[in-house]
Structure 1
C-alpha cells in the first residue's frame, strides 16, 4: 500500500467571507486535518501553523519556544521584511529572564483585588458615557462614543496618563496594531509613544503620583528608558484590546438577541458571559513563537529557528476542547479559552479587562433595552487589517422614550 503523501505547505488563511464572528475560512478544515501543519511565510520561510487548542496551549507554555520578535517571520503579506527586536519595555517580544523581571515588578499592581477596587470608578465612567451616548442619539457610532473611551479612561487613570492627551497617543497605538505596517512605520509609532511617555516619566520622577507610573518611578527599580518603554507598552495594550471586545461583543450580542436578552435580565450571568465572548470572538487572533531547539510535537519535529504561527481563534473553536464551539452560548463555562493567551505571556491586564467588560456590556444593554444595529450587519466595517480583530465602526440605534 503506498505511503500517504506529505501535505503541501499552506499559507495563512485570512479571508472572512462568511459570519463576521467566525475565524477565517479554512482554519477549521486545517485543524480537523491536523492541529500542526507546515506553512509557507510571505518571505519564503517554511514554518508552521498551529490551530488545535491543546497544541497552541502547549507551545505557549513551552520555554523551548521564544517570543523574541527578531527570531520571527511575519505571516501576513505586505510586511515581509526582517522584524526588529522588541523596543525596551515591550514585554510581548522578550523572554526570561528579562520578561520575568518586568512581570515581577508589575504583578502586584494588577492583582484581582486591586482591579476589583477599580470597579466603582469603571461604573462611573460607564454611566457617564452612556449619558453621552443617549445625548448623541440614535445612529451614533458606538466605537467612538462608548467602546473606545471607557477602557481608555480606565487605563489612563491606572497609569496616571492625562486622558485629554489621547489624540497624541491613540494614532501611534493604532499603527502599532496594524498588521501590514512596515517595520519603519511601526518603529516610528513606538518612537512617538516613547517621546510622549518621556515627558510623563520626567514629571513622575520629579513628583511621583499615586498612579502606576508614579509607583514605578518612586520604587527606582527601572531606568528612565525602561519606564518610558514599559509605560508606552501598557498604554497601547490597554487602549485597543478591551475597546474592541466591547464593540465586537456588542455586535455579536445584537446579532444574537436571545443572548443579549439573557445578559440584560440576569445580572449574575455577566462574568460567565464575558468569558464566553472572549472565547467566541478571540479578538487577539494570532500569536507566534520561534523554536530555540528541535521540538517534537504532534508527531512532527519543529526545527530550531522555525516560526510557528498560533491561531488563537481556531484553537478557541476547537470541538475537541469546547462543545458546539461555533455557537455563542453565554451560559457556557468557557474556562481554558485563549483569549488572554497562556503561559508567561498571558495578558497582564486581564483582570482589568474583565472588570471593564463585566461592567460595560450589561450596563449598555440595560440602559438601551431596544438597542440594535443602525445598518445591516454585513455593512459593519470589520478590522481585518489589524492585529486586534473587531469593528472600525458600529452604528447603533434604539427607541427613544
Structure 2
C-alpha cells in the first residue's frame, strides 16, 4: 500500500481534533484503498483560516432487494432491513462503521457525513413479500445503522417500509436511539397491539455531556426515555438496550438506566459489551484521547481484559458479552438489575399467522 501525504490545512485540522457534532476524530482511509492519506503538521496554526466545516451528503442507492439474511447465532433474527448506509448520529462505537470501507470510504468521518439511502425500499419490500416462495418470519429494522437518523425526517424511507409491513400484516422489530420514532406511532401502535411489532430504544447513558460526546447527533437521553414512554402508552412492547456497556466509562450507569427505563414503561432490556472490530479500535482510542484522556488507558485495559488481551474477539458466543472476570461481573450486575426492575419476563413471539399478501389493482378477488 502506498502512502500519499496530505499537505492541506483542512486534512490536518480534521486529523485528530473534535469537530462540532461529529463523533470520529479522523477520516483515515478505508482498508481496501491502494493509497492512504497521512495528515501531518505543515506549519499552519490556529490563527490561520479555519478548515471548511464538514457537510453531510446523501445519495440514493440502487438496490435489487431490501431484505438482508444472516445466520448469526448471536442475534435474535435471521433477516433485517437497513434503509440507510452510514449514520449521521456519529456514534463513535458504532459497529457498522467498517462497512463504509466497502464503498471506498472512510469508517471515520465519511461514515457519518457521506450517507446513502434506499429510495425504493418500500416498493422493493412489497415485491419480495409478494413472491409465492416467500416464507414469513419476523424482520428486524435497523440492525446496522439507525432507521430514524436525522435524514429520515424528510426522506421517509423507514416510513415507507413500515407502511408496507402494515399492509402485509408482517411482524417486525425496530431499534433506534432517535425520538423521531414517535412520528410513526400510528403504525407502530396498531401493529404492536396486534402482536405484530415491538420496538427497542438504545440508551447508553443518562449523562447529557457524555451522550453529546459519544453520540453527538442522536437524541438526548431524556428524549429517548420519553420515546419509550410514548411507545409503551401506544401499546408497543418496548425494550431498552444498554449498548454498548463500556467499562470505566458508562458501565456504572447500567442500573440507573434500567430503572428509568422501567419507570417509562419498558418491558424488557438487553446489553452488549463494547465491540471494537477493525477500524473502530483506532477511532475509539482517538476519541478517548481527546474526550477522556484521564481514563483512556484504564478503559482500554478493561476492554482488553474482556477480550482475551485483544481489542476485540469476533468469536460467536463471546463477541456480544466478552469473557473473563470483568465481563462476568458486568453480566451478573445486568441480570440482577433485570430481576430487581422486573424486566426479566419473556416476551411473546411476534405473530406470523396474520401475514397476508394484499390484493393488487386488477387482481381477481377470492370467492371465499
TM-score band, normalised by shorter chain? under 0.3
Higher relative contact order (CA 8 A, sep 6+): 1
Scaled by the length of structure 2, the TM-score of the pair is: 0.24
Q: Which has the higher strand share?
A: 2
Greater helix percent: which structure? 1
